[in-house]
Every structure is written in C-alpha cells, then in structure tokens.
C-alpha cells in the first residue's frame, strides 16, 4: 500500500501520473493516427487493385496466420509479460542487470520465433488446409494462400523483435520511436504494392513481400533509441535467467489472455472462408474499427501499462486503483462517440474509402454491415485492454487467460449460430459479443481483487459521455441520409460532407462536455494548454 501521506482521492490519479499517462497517450495517439492514415492509403490501394476477389481472400487468410502469431509471441503476450518484469528490474536493480535481462530475452525470443517460422513455412500447406476449409474446393486459391503464408511467415521474426524493442523503450517512458515505427511498415507495403506488384505474374505476391520488408523497417527504426539509452540488446543466451523464466511463466497463460480478440477474429476468418468475399469484408470492417481503437484505446493502454507496472512494483495499490479508473474514464470519453459515428456513418465511410476500382457497391454494403456488427463492441475492445493491463501489471496472467478461454468458447458458439442468420457479418457480431462477455467477467474479478476502484465515477462519466453523444448522433444521421451517397463520382463533395459532418459532431460533443464541466475534458485541455505554453515560451511568444 502507498504511504497515506501521499495517497490520492479515488476519483482522480496523482497529477504527475495523470500528465505522464495523458502526454504519453497523446504522443502515441498522434503517431498511431499517422500510421492509420497511411494504413488507410494502403487499404485503399489494396481494395482498388484486388477488390473482394479470390486473390484478396487468399491474402487476408494468409496474413491472418502470422498476424495471429504476432499477437501471441509479440504484442499480445511477450510485451505484456516483459514490461512489468523489465520495469521492476529497471526500477529496483542496476542498469546492467536490466540490460542483461533485455539481452537474454532478445536471444531467447529470437531462437523461439525463428524455430516457429521455419516450422510454419514447412507446415503451411496443412495449416492453410485447416484454417481455410472453404478454399478446399478451389485448388488454385488454396495453393496461392499457401504460397502467401510461406512468404509472410518471416514477418513474425521481425515484428516480434520490434515488439521487444517497443517494450524496452516504453518501460523507459520513450514512446516516440515505437509509436512511429508502424508508419514505416505501411510505407514499405504501399511502395511494394504500387511499384513491385505490377511487374509480377501474380501481383498479390508483391503485397506479401511488402509485409515482410515493413516488419524489418519497424524493428530497425527503434534500434537508435535503444542505442542512445544504453539498452541495445545483444546475443546473450541465458534461458535460465531468473527474469526470463518469470517472463516465460507469465507468457504461458497470457498467450490466450490479451490476444483473445485476435483469436476470435481468426475463428471468424476460418468460418468466413465459406462465404465468397467473407475474409475481405471482415478484414476491412475490422480495419475501420482499429482506427479509433489504435489511436486512442491501444495508445492509452500502451501508455498506462508502464505506470501501472511501476505502481504495482512499489506496492502503491491506491495509486494503481485510481490510475485504472482514470484510464477507463478516458477510454469511454474517446471511444463512445467514435462508436456512435462509425455505426451511423458506416456506409458513407466504406463507400468513400474503398469503393473504387475492383471494389463494388455490393462489397461496400457487405463491408458496412460487418463494420456495424464490429462497432457495437468497440467500447468492449478498448476497455478490455485497460483491464487486462491492470492484471498484467500485478503479474497475474492466469485470470485474463481463463476469461479469454470462456470468451473464445462463446465466440465459436455465437459464430456458428449468427453466421446462419447474417452470413459473414454474423461472425463480426459474435466477436463483439464475446469481447463484451470477456470484459464483464474481468471487471467483476478486478472489483473483487482491488475492491476500491471507483466504479461509480466511471459510470457517471459514461453517462455524461452518452449525453454528449446526442449532437454526434443527430449530425451523423443527417450526413448518412443525404442522397449524394447513392450517386456516382462527386468524391470532393462527398469528402467535404463526411469530414465536415465529423468536424461539426466533434464541436457539438466537446460543447456539451464544456457545459457539463467534464473532468476528462479538463485533463485534456490542461495538457494542451501546457503544451502550447511551452511552445510559446520556446519561440518567445509569451
């Protein structure tokens, strides 16, 4: 427990921690926004070139396999298990001991993922046969999916090492390089699609090459940051290192815990192979969900984990509780209006972003339906990341693993039922419902574990947010019901209508919060004012 002399009120974390988390989340959010914009450019090029064709379906199924393993070995479990242990070493031990832990983890991770990659390449025909049962009736489609899977498996090596580098830098409160590294991933992928694919007999292969090169770039750009902080890891094979063993024990259950969403999406991909265009519709629908989720949800979860881990290492449970509450309130402050906007503007967004070239009106309608079904669970996708981070900061990976197992089972049952009613979109709805179940169980367990998290303040904050979403809903409905979305062309007018409507919605949303005296808005505005004040002082304006 923390010293009573420095304890804080349950409704608000300590000011220094608040500024630290919000500042880090803001930086990560800006970087993620840049990456998401480039990601949208990448997806627009991909949709224009390949639409919802068999080649596109083959690519998205093939990409799902190394992408799932990335979640399991890298961003989903390794990072979550590594950061609390490394933070403890860096906080309580010497810098040399922290470096040794980083190097031993690097060497062990490199050995494991290299072996997995080689096995994956050899076993790709069997893996694809199992994960894409709907492709078995099309030998050419099955063969292309297998080839793409084999080509993209090395991506796992580089993205896993990139996740380790990110974990070290984030633990040191250095967020810029890790946050901007996905920008280079998108740049390489776009470049290969535009300049390499047209020269290949099978153009979709150029996209697979871009994925691997992008993973290399994402890892390489973080190395200077590690070098500058004296944490550039080296080959140091010590699998018996106490810290590595602790990370390994934490990883075993968390292989399922934090990556439950990816596992559910993989289940959806398997079942979607039975529907023509199904994997493509689900991929683009989830990509649109990941825009607000990545910019705000993942950014805040990434920023908050080192803070939670440091508080847990010090035994400052009062601070831990208030930081969790603050994180959830900030998540709902951002995610709920985004959820309303995505639901109501789903057709205009998909039409404007993807309906070009090979992507047809029918593809737009199917993708918009999948987006709707995913969007109803956006609040759960984001909230689960904060709650799971709280468990991992306490070095409890078993509880998230158990609840994730329950959620995966529920997702499979719901998918088998809902796909008979809604086709591929039913799989998206099953994923959303499973995430809601996962979050509900985690919240109940966390409340029993910590007790004094101020859930009342979180609920009151959520009610304020829902009230502020009323002008968002009104404006989005007006834009979505405009007749111009049924017309061909007029892309400039459509862009102006969509982005203008979003801008007015944001103004209305913030206006209601100003009238209600929102604490969350006060925190954000305070950070902005301090940032502007520092800029003004730097340039001699103030």
Comparing 404 with 507, which gets the higher pLDDT? 507
Residues 366-393: what's their mean pLDDT? 89
- Cα separations in angstroms, 411 against 281, 414, 421, 428: 18, 5, 15, 10
pLDDT in tens, 440-468: 998 888 888 776 677 778 888 888 999 99
- Burial string for 14-33 (b: 16+ CB within 10 Å, else e) reads beebbebbbbbbbbbbebbb
Comparing 75 with 153, which gets the higher pLDDT? 153
What pLDDT is stored for residue 444 in this prediction?
Answer: 86
CA distance 325 to 452: 10
Burial of 509 from C-beta contacts in 10 A (0-12 / 13-18 / 19+): buried
Q: How many CA atoms lie within 13 A of 423 on its CB side?
A: 13
CA distance 49 to 32: 25
Q: Could you tell me the pTM of the whole model? A: 0.71
When mean pLDDT is compared across 112-116, 320-324, 495-499, 507-511, the lowest value belongs to: 320-324
For residues 87 and 306, the answer to whether their CB atoms sit within 8 Å is yes
What pLDDT is stored for residue 234 in this prediction?
Answer: 81
First to last CA, the chain: 42
pLDDT tier at 501 (50, 70, 90 boundaries)?
very high
Please give the share of the chain, as a percent, with pLDDT higher than 90.
31
Please state the three-class secondary structure of 149-197 as a single string. Answer: HHHHCCHHHHHHHHHHHHHHHHHCCCCHHHHHHHHHHHHHHHHHHHHCH
What pLDDT is stored for residue 10 in this prediction?
Answer: 37
What pLDDT is stored for residue 341 in this prediction?
Answer: 95
**Neighbour tally for 134: CB within 10 Å:** 19
- The domain locations on the chain are 6-18+261-536, 51-257
Which of 353, 381, 350 shows the shortest CA–CA distance to 366? 350
When mean pLDDT is compared across 271-280, 318-327, 445-454, the lowest value belongs to: 445-454
Comparing 245 with 539, which gets the higher pLDDT? 245
Which of 24, 87, 430, 85 shows the shortest CA–CA distance to 248? 85
Comparing 69 with 410, which gets the higher pLDDT? 410
For residues 66 and 155, the answer to whether their CB atoms sit within 8 Å is yes
When mean pLDDT is compared across 100-104, 290-294, 343-347, the lowest value belongs to: 290-294
Which of 388, 378, 315 shows the shortest CA–CA distance to 342? 378
Structure tokens at 387: 């709650």
When mean pLDDT is compared across 118-122, 245-249, 312-316, 536-540, the lowest value belongs to: 536-540
What pLDDT is stored for residue 314 in this prediction?
Answer: 78
pLDDT tier at 236 (50, 70, 90 boundaries)?
confident
Comparing 81 with 100, which gets the higher pLDDT? 100
What pLDDT is stored for residue 542 in this prediction?
Answer: 47
Would you say the C-alpha torsion 213, 295, 453, 317 has a positive or negative sign? positive
What pLDDT is stored for residue 42 in this prediction?
Answer: 87
pLDDT in tens, 136-178: 888 898 999 999 999 999 998 998 898 888 888 877 877 777 7
Helical packing angle, 398-422 and 260-272, nearest 10°:
30
What pLDDT is stored for residue 2 in this prediction?
Answer: 36
What pLDDT is stored for residue 24 in this prediction?
Answer: 59
pLDDT in tens, 169-191: 877 877 777 778 888 888 999 99
Please give the share of the chain, as a percent, with pLDDT higher than 70.
84
Asked whether residue 222 carries a pLDDT value surpassing 80, the answer given is yes
CA distance 520 to 326: 9
**Neighbour tally for 36: CB within 10 Å:** 23
pLDDT tier at 477 (50, 70, 90 boundaries)?
very high
Q: Would you call 395 helix, strand, or coil by DSSP?
A: coil
Asked whether residue 67 carries a pLDDT value surpassing 90, the answer given is no
Structure tokens at 241: 């290192």
pLDDT tier at 111 (50, 70, 90 boundaries)?
very high
Residues 333-362: what's their mean pLDDT? 91
Comparing 194 with 311, which gets the higher pLDDT? 194
When mean pLDDT is compared across 4-18, 60-74, 79-93, 517-531, the lowest value belongs to: 4-18
Comparing 372 with 134, which gets the higher pLDDT? 372
CA distance 231 to 20: 22
What pLDDT is stored for residue 145 in this prediction?
Answer: 93
Comparing 315 with 349, which gets the higher pLDDT? 349
Residues 4-15: what's their mean pLDDT? 41
Asked whether residue 5 carries a pLDDT value surpassing 50, the answer given is no
Mean pLDDT, the chain, rounded, equals 82
Comparing 244 with 451, which gets the higher pLDDT? 244
When mean pLDDT is compared across 12-26, 181-195, 245-259, 276-290, the lowest value belongs to: 12-26
| All residues at 6 or more sequence positions from 308 whose CB lies less than 8 Å from its CB, including other chains | 320, 323, 324, 389, 390, 393
Helical packing angle, 378-393 and 260-272, nearest 10°:
140
Q: Would you call 403 helix, strand, or coil by DSSP?
A: helix
Comparing 484 with 536, which gets the higher pLDDT? 484
Residues 77-104: what's their mean pLDDT? 82
CA distance 342 to 430: 18
Asked whether residue 394 carries a pLDDT value surpassing 90, the answer given is no
Asked whether residue 249 carries a pLDDT value surpassing 60, the answer given is yes
Residues 272-285: what's their mean pLDDT? 87
């Amino acid at each position: 427990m923390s010293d009573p002399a420095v304890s804080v009120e349950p409704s608000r974390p300590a000011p220094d921690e608040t500024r630290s988390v919000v500042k880090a989340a803001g930086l990560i959010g800006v970087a993620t926004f840049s990456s998401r914009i480039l990601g949208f450019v990448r997806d627009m090029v991909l949709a224009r070139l390949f639409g919802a064709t068999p080649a596109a379906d083959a690519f998205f199924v093939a990409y799902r396999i190394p992408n799932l393993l990335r979640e399991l070995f890298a961003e989903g479990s390794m990072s979550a298990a590594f950061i609390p242990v490394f933070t403890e070493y860096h906080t309580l031990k010497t810098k040399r001991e922290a470096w040794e832990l980083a190097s031993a983890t690097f060497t062990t991770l490199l050995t494991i993922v290299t072996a997995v990659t080689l096995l994956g390449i050899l076993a790709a025909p069997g893996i694809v046969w199992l994960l894409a049962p709907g492709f078995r009736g099309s030998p050419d489609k099955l063969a292309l999916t297998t080839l793409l899977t084999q080509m993209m498996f090395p991506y796992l090596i580089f993205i896993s090492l990139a996740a380790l580098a990110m974990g070290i830098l984030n633990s040191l409160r250095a967020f810029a390089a890790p946050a901007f590294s996905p920008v280079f991933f998108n740049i390489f992928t776009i470049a290969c699609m535009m300049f390499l694919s047209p020269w290949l007999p099978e153009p979709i292969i150029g996209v697979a090459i871009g994925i691997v090169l992008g993973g290399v770039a994402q890892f390489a750009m973080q190395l200077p940051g590690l070098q500058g902080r004296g944490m550039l890891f080296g080959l140091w094979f010590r699998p018996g290192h106490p810290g590595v063993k602790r990370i390994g024990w934490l990883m075993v259950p968390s292989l399922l815990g934090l990556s439950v969403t990816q596992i559910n999406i993989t289940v959806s991909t398997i079942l979607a192979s039975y529907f023509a265009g199904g994997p493509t519709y689900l991929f683009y629908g989830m990509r649109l969900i990941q825009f607000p989720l990545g910019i705000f949800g993942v950014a805040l979860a990434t920023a908050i984990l080192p803070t939670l881990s440091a508080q847990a290492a010090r035994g400052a449970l009062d601070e831990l509780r208030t930081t969790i509450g603050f994180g959830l309130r900030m998540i709902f402050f951002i995610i709920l209006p985004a959820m309303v906007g995505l639901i109501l503007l789903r057709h205009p967004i998909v039409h404007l972003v993807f309906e070009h070239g090979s992507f047809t009106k029918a593809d737009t309608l199917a993708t918009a339906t999948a987006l709707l079904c995913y969007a109803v669970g956006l609040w759960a996708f984001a909230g689960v990341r904060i709650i799971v981070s709280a468990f991992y900061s306490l070095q409890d990976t078993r509880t998230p693993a158990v609840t994730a197992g329950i959620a995966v089972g529920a997702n499979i049952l719901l998918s088998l039922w809902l796909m008979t009613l809604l086709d591929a979109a039913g799989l998206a709805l099953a994923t959303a419902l499973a995430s809601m179940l996962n979050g509900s169980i985690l919240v109940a367990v966390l409340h029993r574990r910590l007790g004094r998290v101020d859930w009342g303040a979180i609920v009151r904050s959520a009610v304020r947010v829902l009230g502020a979403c009323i002008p968002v809903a009104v404006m989005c409905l007006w834009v979505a019901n405009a007749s111009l979305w049924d017309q061909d062309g007029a892309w400039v007018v459509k862009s102006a209508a969509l982005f203008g409507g979003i801008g007015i919605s944001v103004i209305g949303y913030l206006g209601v919060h100003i009238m209600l005296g929102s604490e969350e808005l006060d925190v954000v505005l305070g950070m902005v004012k301090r940032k502007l004040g520092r800029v003004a002082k730097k340039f001699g304006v103030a």
